[in-house]
Amino acid sequence: MTPLLVVAGALVGAPLRLLVTRLAARGGRDPAGGTLTVNVAGSALLGLVLGAAATPPAVVALVGTGFCGTLTTFSTFGGDVVRMVEQRRLARGLAYVLATVVLGVGAAALGYVAAPG
């Protein structure tokens, strides 16, 4: 049952991430803004899910491992940073790394603290 719930969450999370990065890339802007957005939002939601005392295991599998895990990504983040370095945009790459870490971990902590119970 658990793997099916993980798959169900992932079937929503991955296309939603594609949608957000495509929207962020409109007008020739950097799609990394979209990656940052989904990573921070997914980290906040997972903090809420895991911080709540009474979250059922099925919800953790569906919303946590499946949806949040797949909405967010680390490989695209790493690829974005390498691309920025190759384009000699070092300040932008460093700002992107710091934003992902500070906002991502901060959002997870906020979700964790704000969770009921």
Partner 1 sequence: MRYAPGSSRPRPEARPELARGEGAGVLYLLAALGGALGALARWGVGTALPHSPGGWPWATLLVNLTGCLLFGVLIALLAARSPEPPWARPFLAVGVLGGYTTCSAFAVEAVGLAEAGHPVPAVGYVLVSVVGGVLAVAAGALAVRAVRSR
> Any contact of residue 34 with partner 1 (CB under 8 A)?
no
Interface with partner 1 in residues 44-103 (CB under 8 A):
45-47, 50, 61, 64-66, 68-79, 81-82, 85, 97, 100-101
Evaluate whether 104 touches 46 at the Cβ level (below 8 Å): no
The rounded distance, in Å, linking the Cα atoms of 47 and 107 is 8
User: DSSP secondary structure string, 19-53?
Assistant: HHHHHHTGGG--THHHHHHHHHHHHHHHHHHHHST
Question: Least distance in Å: CB of 77 to partner 1?
Answer: 6
Interaction site with partner 1 (CB under 8 A): 2-3, 6-7, 9-15, 17-19, 21-22, 39, 42-43, 45-47, 50, 61, 64-66, 68-79, 81-82, 85, 97, 100-101, 104-105, 107-109, 112
